Structures are given as structure tokens and as C-alpha cells.
Structure 1
Amino acid sequence: MSTLSAPIGGSLSPGENVLVLDPEFGVDESPICMDLVTADRSVEQAMLSVTVTESPGDRVRQWQQHADTTPAAATVLDVDTSMGSAASNPTADEHRIPCESASVRTVSDPSNLTKLGIEITSALDELTAAEEDRRLVVCFRSLSPLLQYVSREELFKFVHLLADEFARTGAIAHFHMDPTAHDEQTVATFLHLFDGVVERDDGAWELRTR
């Protein structure tokens, strides 16, 4: 079981990126994920969710189960790693996203980081164009499966560019990674890209900043 020892998202500032280290199996990361994307309740929020290890529908259900607020706008960008997944029918998921303005997009090739980057940039532009006062929050779940399709060097460069782009737009962004799926050197390599790391300590989530 995982809990929050204290709210973490509220300690992050616009433009900061953190890495959430959570095993893909056996740990419920929902509390920390929802804390990070719903931290600032004083302003409307626009959410970009990049899903690799779950479907758009799973992302929506997680929000509905763990958050007591809804974003003013949301885009779920599904990186489809399996034929016939929920991503093949995004319309059904789209109508269940609980906010005023919502869209679901699919990137069918997880090895095409260029295409994924273009879709992310386009989604950011749309989410930030409507209301300048909205707080942009980003969840990228997860980096680990992408390493089955691209090299560590390619993904490092990609995440570096994304982190810079999220910082430029003033987003509060977090990326998930399964530390049990990689060697220590791989995890340490990606840590350099982030302002902090969130991981569990005695069952509770803790933030360590650089």
C-alpha cells in the first residue's frame, strides 16, 4: 500500500519537471500522480496525459476515482503499443473525460519519437491557447516501455527536449519510470534531466529535489 506523507505537488513551481519512480506492478501510484496534477486548486487546470502503459479510459477512471476536481481542458495522448487496445477506439474514452474540452489522440508507433514529439507540442499549443491563466499540468506514464522500442540515448534526448518544452510553457510535469525494469545506470542517467525525484520511502511517497 502506498500513501502520501504530505501533499507533494504544492511544493513544485511552474516550469519544474520531476521523475516518479514507481514499479509497474504491485504499487498504486494513483495518489501521487493525482496529487501532482491537481496541486494548484486556485486556478483552472489544463492537463496533458501521455499514456504508454494504460489506455485513455484507464487514465480517465483514475482521475474520477482519486481526484475531487476536474480539469477545465484535457488531452490524452495514447502511445499504442498493442494492436486492438483501447486506443483503437478513442471516441468511447473521449466522451468519458470529465471536463469542458477534451480530446484523445493516438500515436500508433512507439518507436517514432519525432511523431510523438509533434503530437505533444501540438497538444500543448492547443491547451495553452484557449486560456492563458490556466495552469498546465503534464503526466507522462511511462518512460520504461519506450526503452523496448528506442535506445537509451534516443529517449534521453527526447525527454531532454520535452522537459525544456514543458519548462518553457510553465507546466508542472512529471514522468513515471519503473526502477525495477532498468539497471541503476539507466535510472541515474535520466535523473539528471529533472528538478527532483519522487519515490516511496517506507510505503509513503517522498520528494527529493536537486
Structure 2
Amino acid sequence: MSRERLFVDGFMVPDTIQYAMNSGSGTVDQPLKEAASVLVLARNASDAEREGCAGFLAEQEVSKSKAICVTVSESPDSRLSLWQQHLDDEMPEEAIIVDAGSELPATSQAAASGAFPSLTLDTLPATVAPIDISATVSRHLGRLEQEDTPLLLCLHSLTGLLECWERDRVIALVTALNRQCAEMDVSSHHHMDPEAHTEETVEMFRPLYDVVYEYLPDHGWTVTASQDAEETPTFRDTVTPPGGVKKGDPEEPETIPIPYSFDQVLELISAPRRRSLLYHLKDRSETEVPLDDLVDRVYEREKAIPARTTPKSRDEVGVSLAHNHLPRLDDLGILSYETADNTVEYYANPALESVIQYVERLELG
């Protein structure tokens, strides 16, 4: 998938809010400073990547913060040395380095130097999985949150994670970390080497972040902030349906991949009643529907499916929709369930609906 880019006065301006950066100092602009989650795109181990990381931390006033750094392919010493070289005396009050797979010695010369007021090295086993990284970060954030000090998180890097695990598992980890950081008001940034991946892979990760902080060799640093950066990526995003879009349709919007794993989609359609609900919603011409009407339609559909267990009553269907299936779909951004006035607003989504339609054909014939 290609992303159209426009360069003005040497800076990239894509189809989102764009902010020019000072490529020499590594300093950041206000949109980056205020973002909860940032994707840093720069060649791994390059001067630009190192200066960009340090510049980001400095702008976040790291000396008044507590920082967690997750390192996957570099040694803890490498990250600590980078901070020492570029941050000078602006060290974090407390630093935690989580070694998530480098398989390098746990001892640290940087730690022994005394440059850090308080430093903890947490070395995970070689058999570490993404869920272990998420749990470890959650544990440290939970402890640090009690101390009422700004928190920072650096993950280096997504490229290292993608070398070890499937893309869907890494996306699930990113989604979990970004959600937790947003809830806890943690400023986080994750590194990725764009030259190590296909453009399709890079484009799949972009919408998972509030801001993309990208280094282009001929143009310096740029910041791309989504206009909807405050919203967590959900199924409401425009996506490409399987089989592609219709050719010759000038109104067809630019598409991006769904930022959810295949397992999550399977879980979504695993419940028979939730499938009946989705079958009905995808066929409606109106996007807003009263809850009572929705309960009636799902109740009627379930009674008409021979292979299904007949629902005990309409009320039983209404309770399960209101307290189980509708809240789940609301959390995913597939619909909006307003309990105050008992209405449901469905958000049409071509990719999801193509999956639902295929499953409906398999189930109903």
C-alpha cells in the first residue's frame, strides 16, 4: 500500500496533520510532546535514531520522570550508553531496563558507572513471549504509578519483535501497551526500522499510534499526527475488503489494514448470538436502531435457524445483548451502544462485513 507524500520546503506533508522538525537538534514539536503513543521510524542504530530517541526523552523532561526501556535486540548497556551520551546530566530519577531477548550478559558497565540515581535491570528468559513483555511492563508501571511522577516508556524495537514473532502477536502487544499507557498517562515511544520491513507492514503499524515521528534522510525529521489521534484504532477505520475495491470508483477512500489479529476476528464471530446480531446489522440501511427493535430482529433470526438452539424468550435475548454482546462490540468500535436512551448506532465496515457475509453463507447456506 502506498502513502501519498507532498514535500513543502523540504518537509513531508501527507494526508494528515504534518509538523516539520529540526533535523539537527533532535528536538520535537508540541504535537509529539503531547502524544501518548509515538512510533519512531528511523534506520536501526543510526545517528538519527539515537539522537531522535534522546531528543524525545529530553523534550519529555526525562530528568523529572521515571523511565522504562524495553530492549529486544540491543544490550541494556547499549541503551544506557545512548542516554549517557545524549542526555548529559538529564538522567531519569529512576530507570528500569527490561532485557526482553538480547541474550546478553545481565551485568551493566553503564549501571556501574553511577550515572543513574536508581537503576533496575530486569532480564527476561530467552523463551520470553509478547505476553510476558506486556505483563512485565504492566508490573513496573503499576509500581511506579503509585509514586505520582511522570512516566516514560521506550520500546526498542518493533523490528526486533517482528524477527521473533508473527506480526499479529506484535500488533496485539502494541495495542495492549498503548492502551495501558493512555489509561495511565504514560508517554511512550516504540522504535521501528522502516528499511527492515515491507511498506505494507509499516503502514499496518502507523494507525496504532497517536503520532508517527519519521526520519527521512533527504528531509530530516517529520511528525505526522492523526486528526483522530485521541481515538484508539478500532474497526471503525476504513479498510480494504477482501478481493479489493471496485475499479474506477473515484469516491473510494484510502484504505488501511484492520489493527486486530486474526484470532480476535475469530473470537468476534465465535458466539452464535453475536453472529445473528452482526448478520442483521450489516443488512440494515439505517445505521441507528432502537434496542427493542434490535432484540426483536435477533430473536426472530435465532428462531428461524434450524441448527440453532431456540432462545428461551425474547427477554433472554435482550439481556444477553444489552449486558454482553453490545458492550463488547462497542469496545471494539464496531458500534456505539447508548444505554441512556437504549439505541445502537452501527458503523459500516467493508472488510468486517465481507467476513460476516462469508460466515453467514457457510452457516445458513
Classify 1:5/1:205 alpha carbon distance in 2 versus 1 (closer, same or farther; 3 Å). Answer: farther
Name the structure 1 match of 2:136: 119
1:18 aligned to 2:38? yes
Name the structure 2 match of 1:46: 66
Asked whether the 8 Å contact 2:39–2:212 carries over to 1, the reply is yes
Classify 1:122/1:42 alpha carbon distance in 2 versus 1 (closer, same or farther; 3 Å). Answer: closer
Deviations 1:91-120 (A, max 9, x none): 655334633222010122365112111111
2:48 aligned counterpart, secondary structure: coil
1:209 aligned to 2:225? yes
Deviation at 1:11, TM superposition (A): 3.7
Deviation at 1:40, TM superposition (A): 3.4
> Pick from 192, 195, 198: which aligns with 1:177?
192
Name the structure 1 match of 2:118: 101
> Pick from 181, 187, 200: which aligns with 1:166?
181
Deviations 1:153-204 (A, max 9, x none): 1111111000001111111111001111111111111111001111123252
Largest Rg, 1 or 2: 2
Asked whether the 8 Å contact 1:79–1:106 carries over to 2, the reply is yes
The 5 Å alignment of 1:27-176 reads: 27-41=47-61, 44-68=64-88, 69-82=90-103, 85=104, 88-90=105-107, 92-96=109-113, 98-109=115-126, 112-129=129-146, 131-132=147-148, 134-176=149-191
User: Where do 5+ consecutive residues of structure 2 fail to align?
Assistant: 1-21, 227-365
Q: TM-score, normalised by structure 2?
A: 0.51
Q: Which has the higher contact order (CA 8 A, sep 6+)?
A: 1
Structure with higher helix content: 2
Letter in 1 for 2:225: T
Between 1:5-14 and 1:110-119, the stretch displaced more is 5-14
CA RMSD between the two structures: 2.4
Name the structure 1 match of 2:248: none
Residues of 2 paired with 1:11 and 1:34: CA distance? 17
Classify 1:5/1:57 alpha carbon distance in 2 versus 1 (closer, same or farther; 3 Å). Answer: closer
Question: Percent of aligned positions with the same letter in both sequences?
Answer: 27
Deviation >6 Å, runs of 4+: none
Residues of 1 paired with 2:102 and 2:225: CA distance? 32
Classify 1:26/1:74 alpha carbon distance in 2 versus 1 (closer, same or farther; 3 Å). Answer: closer
Residues of 2 paired with 1:175 and 1:12: CA distance? 13
Asked whether the 8 Å contact 1:14–1:170 carries over to 2, the reply is no
